[in-house]
Amino acid sequence: MDVTETRPEETAPHDPGSSPSTPEEPGPSVIVDDVHVKYRVFGGRKRSTAPEMGRFRRLLNRSREHVGSVSEVHAVRGVSFVARHGESIGLIGMNGAGKSTLLRAMAGVMPMSSGSIYIDGRAALMGVNAALMRSLSGERNIILGGLALGLTRAEIDERFDEIVEFSGVGDHISLPMTAYSTGMAARLRFAISTAAVPDVLLIDEALATGDAAFKERSTERIAKIREQAGTVFLVSHSSRSIRHMCDRAIWIDHGEIIDDGPVDEVVPRYSKEVKRRR
């Protein structure tokens, strides 16, 4: 993934004869340019066309059983858009639309087949940069996740109690994460991922597992990130969450952008299409 840093342009001297300048639009934080993502899916074994084949011969030909069982999935097809500092963008679409694949490509953990993605700063994909290991305790994961985010050990110690309180895992923090419920693990991932305010935060369905109080805390945390010129991407099947947390929505279907605009305009059109298909 290509990473670039934008720098403010030098302001030209004011011309007394010119009209007053208008406030500049926030600069781009993410540029996605004609991105395609393809990956291979390995299917079941190929059935033998000779049922009478002996056992010994079948053993010799076992390495050939998967021939012809590989298919290619074109998950993202020529997606392009520009996100700006301070925006909160919801990625919406049916299952298999390519939303999560696109998010992972933006985070640099899914290779692109073609195209370019430019990030101004550091992107944090919830649960990836946090580097959580299920065999370790929540406490150890906070330390490892904080280090992965670039925090010093002193900064991690300083924010430790706040992370535990925000996640709501309580005394479970000393237990291995194999003992955590899906919701507890998701809340801890979110708390760790936002312990250091990222330039671009990528959230994939994780907020759907929290209760009302956690969602309210998450909304406040997202607002704080945006106030500091951060950009937030949220993948969710909940139209209510997208409306509540985002000001812009990008509708993706079969790997292509169908609609992109204000959340109050795109989400109703998407919801209408979902009802029509059902």
* Residue whose entry in the numeric block shows the structure tokens 């899906």: 182
Q: Which residues of the chain have pLDDT under 70?
A: 1-23, 43-68, 127-131, 206-211
Each residue's pLDDT tens digit, 79-116: 999 999 999 999 999 988 999 999 999 988 899 999 99
Based on the number of CB atoms within 10 Å of its own CB, is 68 exposed (0-12), middle (13-18) or buried (19 or more)? exposed
- In order of 52, 56, 65, 177, the CA distances from 59 in angstroms are 14, 5, 10, 42
- At a CB cut-off of 8 Å and minimum separation 6, what does 101 contact? 37, 75, 76, 110, 255
pTM passes above 0.75:
no
- How far is 85 from 161, CA to CA, in rounded Å? 29
pLDDT given for residue 251 in this prediction: 97
pLDDT given for residue 58 in this prediction: 59
pLDDT given for residue 269 in this prediction: 96
Cα Rg, the chain, nearest whole Å: 23
In 3D space, the residue among 34, 253, 270 whose CA is nearest the CA of residue 261 turns out to be: 270
- At a CB cut-off of 8 Å and minimum separation 6, what does 154 contact? none
pLDDT given for residue 116 in this prediction: 96
- How far is 64 from 131, CA to CA, in rounded Å? 38
pLDDT given for residue 278 in this prediction: 79
Backbone φ and ψ for 269, nearest 5 degrees, come out as -65, -40
pLDDT given for residue 4 in this prediction: 45
The tokens describing 142, both together, are 């906070």
Average pLDDT, the chain: 81
- How far is 52 from 242, CA to CA, in rounded Å? 58
pLDDT given for residue 16 in this prediction: 46
- How far is 183 from 206, CA to CA, in rounded Å? 8
Estimate the crossing angle of helix 138-148 against helix 182-193, to 10 degrees. 30
